[in-house]
Chains A and B, each alone.
Chain A
Amino acid sequence: MKFRYWIFSILLLISIGLSLHLFQTRPLETNVMELIPEGKNNPEVSLARKLVSSHQSKINYVVLSSPNSSITPKAVSTFASTLKENPSIASVYSPSDSVFLKDIGEELVQLRFSWMLPKWLNSHFPNWKEHPPDSDTLANKVVEELNTFLESPESFMWDELIPRDPFLLIPRQALDARSFIAPKHPQNQVFWIEQSPSPLEAKGQEPVFTAFNMALQNAKKHDPDLQLSFTGVGKFAHASEQNIRSEVTRLNLLAIIFVLFILIAWIRDIRILFKLSFVLLLSLFSAFSLTFIIFPNLHILSLVMGSLLIGVAVDYGLHRFLHFDTDNKFILWRPLLISACSSAGGFALLMLSPLPVVNQLGCFVAIGLITALIGASLLPPNSQNNGPPQKPRIHPFNFIPIPVALSITIALCLGTYFLSWQDNIKDLDYPVPELQNEHESVLSHFNQNLTSNPVLVIGESLVDTRKHLETILQELKNKSQVWSPAQFIPQFNEASKAHDLFKERPDFVPALKRELATSEYSVEAFDPFFNDYNEYSDATMNRDLFEQQIRSFAQSLPSFLQSMISTDNPIWMMAFVPENFKSASHEFIYPLAEVENLNRSFSQYRKDSGKIAVIAGITIVLLLPVVFQGRKGMISAFLLSINVLATLGTLSFVFHDLGLFHLIGILLGFCLCLDYLLFAVESTSNHRSLPVSVLVSMVTTAGVFGLLITSAIPAVQALGSSVVIMLLICLLLLITSFQNILTKKKPIFPGHG
């Protein structure tokens, strides 16, 4: 006997030690994207994962404002310079600061002819493809436009570039881009601030917030009324993690207190309570450590849902320690093993689900159940000297007649008529409405072109993708409504035609020199232009080179724009389009909001998980008559089936639309109710009373799942409410006279009858 205690103690110590070690050395995953799979065959998931890991996720949108006046330039520059010195900050860009346009410009200068001449031709000679202008006309237009440009204030910014770019290709493009990026409220100062560490890591959260605060304090020396507001992935991730951590603590603590309270109230045996507590500890720690080893990216949400293990794992100890006959022999080995194996198997089946969060939950609970069973088996019941085991204190109530119970159950089953499914990945998020409000408020200060209605245009290659983007541009009559960094890029066929046009005009250079001289320009000052132009017109334009140019351009974009062109699979170009824009080429266009929601993909995962659940459920129901020899098995299968249908019906009445986590809840409830029904049927058919352990277990389990309903996370709520409803219906079935069928109308509990 002592040998068993030793084994139990060693297992418990190992699991606790391993858990503490893992908890200290590995961070728990908090990124919601880690809850969904790689999505190799699912473009939406693939897109979303790439977006989350892109530079875009590191961008913080920051607004500086001063309630009574415009912000002093000194305060703005101090704020920016303080941040630039901070190691947590990678870059600071402001739409009011043209540095980033120049960054883009440097790369574009190299590509200006092949990329921008098509647009220049389109705007000055709309029919250039059909009626190509001659060299004199082209040269005259260049100089005429240059003269006008030199009268504008912006010309001062480009003086140094003009000798390389008399076409004004770069200034025009940059100024076009600027008009889309310019902030909405010029009296406030807005920034795009890229942080160095990932916003999903701890060092990418509080250290970044501290950097912002330090910069604000320094800037306040020049403008004491300065106010800062910002939004970014890190802010949401931090708030979400804090909330989920406190929720994990709250739920687990309440679950333990509740279970202990029920046990103390019913069991009233301190030795059994101790044993149950140790079994629970072994179950929780071993489940945590082994799951963490199997899933290195263990998500914190899996632990929130995993807290339900406490309510289930206690069952085996209850059965083991409360049910033995006068010979001190355990009398329920068969139902205990069948129920433990079926429950653990049911949860283990969840590991086949395509969703990581479901995998982790299934693994966590399955391991917890098996170790709870092992732990309960290792610890013996109370010794013979301690008298008979605790008598059941609650008798089953078989006073509800079958017709009444049948009517209630059938009525509940009717709800399945209204059954509909709708999934929302936001159900997995911890809602933080105050941050959401601030997020919207901050974004309202930025140019709407860069904050609303983003779409991803997808293609097989960058050239193809640009072609698809053109479809959107063509569909929108007012092209100023759409903006994308990819607008810098022409379509390959246009670039090629423009190249041909200039290549076929060797007299363009002398014509332009003549025009420049006529307008009193120093022609020799434009030598850098003529050198570059000759190189361009002599070169050969091909698709591979063009594709390579796009890659190079995309990599040169400032950080906050880099995710707007993805050059590796999946290839995309991001564009900002008007609200309610519907494109005829919808197969190439993914609204970003839809990608972020991933609801369609989520529904697919629910369907896949549903198939697994249905197959597993039907298999178990069909096996019951075999394992339980005919009548008992048939009755169990019938009760289980009607339990599932009535639960689905009730959930439909209550929630209208069910989702993935309702489905998982039903699967969990199925495993739990199978346990209870097996014990009830076994006991009843042997003319024994319904084991008190079943009732205690039902109450503790319902209580623990009931606690999940108080969670702020909709997915956890859905899971908890599904299990609680299923347990309540199971209880209804157990306390009615359905069991009388088993005993052919004989009194079912003669010992108490």
Chain B
Amino acid sequence: MKAFNKIYLLGILTILTPLSPYGADNPLLFGLEEKWKPILEQFNQINSLESSFREKRYRPFKRIPTTLNGTLRIHPQAGISFLYTDPSFFLLHFHQGKLFRKKEDSDLEALDYPEVTTTMNWLSQIFAWNTDWLKDHVTASGEFKPDSNEWHLSLKPIVEAPASIDKIILYGSQVKLKEIHIFTAPRKRIEIKLRESTTNPNFSDNDIESFFPAFDQ
């Protein structure tokens, strides 16, 4: 698995990279402009990530979002894990297409929630920038704000996704991917704001055991 913070460098690389000579039919791009290409190529060099985050869940029946805080971890073999620490404490681990949850003082449980599992799968494909998968499932369009270093990249499903994902928008600024917005229905979205991040951290065996409990080493 490739890494989440491949996107992390997207901003600065975009700024540093002029229009490139690469061909428009390069599979890395699948519809993006040529200027994205050097950035996306850099993704391959990044394997893992650790970042604190704030997640906001917007629902049509609530005037303000439900807010959760925690730490996101990505490991090339062990998958993605979301450790929620506030206001509730639990860990979600997505590994090999299956979703698991670990609560404090309880056993690891497999979750069979198609909506959540599908969303996790989409996130894992995006973080890995799996172009084979992406070109079959999404169309991409990006935009750079001319007067700032901010950008966003919008991914829209080609076919209807089981989790009713309307679109996923990645927001970044310079070297950082700042936010991921997942739109699943009108007036319903999840915003994940990344805060302090470490690229390619060295996960110890204990870390892997703790944060990726469904991964069998």
Interface residues of A (CB under 8 A from B): 69-70, 72-73, 95-98, 147-148, 150-154, 156-157, 159, 162-163, 178, 182, 186, 520-522, 525-526
Contact = CB atoms under 8 A, between A and B. Distances in A.
Contacts of A69: 96
B158 to A, nearest CB: 17
Nearest to A160: B185
B98 interface: yes
A70 B59 CA distance: 34
Contacts of A148: 88
A157 B61 contact: no
B24 interface: no
Contact of A98 (B57, B101, B114): B114
Contacts of B97: 70, 72-73
Contact of A522 (B57, B61, B101, B110): B61
Nearest to B63: A520
A525 B88 contact: no
A404 B167 CA distance: 99
Contacts of B88: 148, 151-152
A437 B57 CA distance: 49
Contacts of A162: 59, 61
Interface in B51-106: 57, 59-64, 66, 68, 84, 87-88, 90, 92, 96-99, 101
B112 interface: yes
A77 to B, nearest CB: 10
Contact of A151 (B60, B68, B188): B68
A73 B96 CA distance: 10
Nearest to A181: B112
B60 A153 contact: no
A520 B64 contact: yes
A151 B67 CA distance: 8
Nearest to B117: A73
A154 B66 contact: no
B44 to A, nearest CB: 24
A525 B87 CA distance: 25
Given A156-B116, A157-B115, A520-B64, A182 B110 contact: yes
Contacts of A154: 111, 113, 116
A96 B88 CA distance: 25
A525 B112 contact: no
Contacts of B113: 98, 153-154, 156-157
B112 A178 contact: yes
A153 to B, nearest CB: 5
A558 to B, nearest CB: 15
A159 B119 CA distance: 15
Given A151-B84, A153-B113, A162-B61, 19 more contacts: A70-B97, A70-B98, A147-B66, A150-B57, A151-B66, A152-B88, A156-B115, A156-B184, A157-B116, A159-B59, A159-B185, A162-B59, A163-B61, A178-B112, A182-B110, A186-B98, A520-B64, A521-B63, A522-B62
Given A70-B96, A70-B98, A72-B97, A96 B112 contact: yes
Contacts of B184: 156
A153 B101 contact: yes
Contacts of A98: 112-114
B61 A521 contact: yes
28 contacts: A72-B97, A95-B112, A97-B114, A98-B112, A98-B114, A150-B59, A150-B62, A151-B68, A153-B92, A153-B101, A153-B113, A153-B116, A154-B113, A154-B116, A157-B113, A157-B116, A159-B185, A159-B188, A162-B59, A162-B61, A163-B60, A182-B110, A182-B112, A186-B98, A520-B64, A522-B60, A522-B63, A525-B61
A494 to B, nearest CB: 30
Nearest to A163: B61
B61 A97 contact: no
Contacts of B64: 520
Q: How large is the interface on B (under 10, 10 to 19, 20 to 34, 35 or more residues)?
A: 20 to 34
B111 A153 contact: yes
B67 to A, nearest CB: 9
Interface in B145-192: 184-185, 188
Contacts of A97: 112, 114
Contacts of A70: 96-98
Contacts of B84: 151
Contact of B60 (A147, A150, A152, A525): A525
Nearest to B103: A152
A157 B162 CA distance: 12
A156 B113 CA distance: 9
Given A72-B97, A520-B63, A186 B115 contact: no
B97 to A, nearest CB: 5
A101 to B, nearest CB: 9
Contacts of B87: 151
Contacts of A151: 66, 68, 84, 87-88
Contacts of A95: 112
A178 B110 CA distance: 11
B25 to A, nearest CB: 27
Contacts of A159: 59, 185, 188
The 10 closest A-B pairs by CB, nearest first: A186-B110, A525-B61, A520-B64, A520-B63, A150-B66, A96-B112, A153-B116, A151-B88, A156-B115, A163-B61
B84 to A, nearest CB: 8
Contacts of A525: 60-61
Contacts of A157: 113-116
Nearest to A517: B63
B206 to A, nearest CB: 24
B62 A520 contact: yes
A156 B62 CA distance: 14
Contacts of A152: 88, 90
Contacts of B98: 70, 186
B62 A521 contact: yes
**From B61, B92, B111, residue with most partner A Cβ within 10 Å:** B61
B28 to A, nearest CB: 24
A66 B66 CA distance: 40
Nearest to B108: A186
B79 to A, nearest CB: 12
**From A70, A73, A182, residue with most partner B Cβ within 10 Å:** A73
A156 B92 CA distance: 14
**From A98, A151, A153, A522, residue with most partner B Cβ within 10 Å:** A153
A510 B189 CA distance: 29
A83 B45 CA distance: 44
B197 to A, nearest CB: 23
**From B62, B97, B115, residue with most partner A Cβ within 10 Å:** B62
Contacts of B90: 152
Nearest to B84: A151
Contacts of A182: 110, 112
A159 B112 CA distance: 16
Contacts of B63: 520-522
Given A70-B98, A153-B116, A159-B188, A526 B68 contact: no
Contacts of B185: 159
Interface in B33-61: 57, 59-61
Nearest to A524: B61
Contacts of A522: 60-63
Contacts of A147: 66
Nearest to A519: B62
A95 B141 CA distance: 39
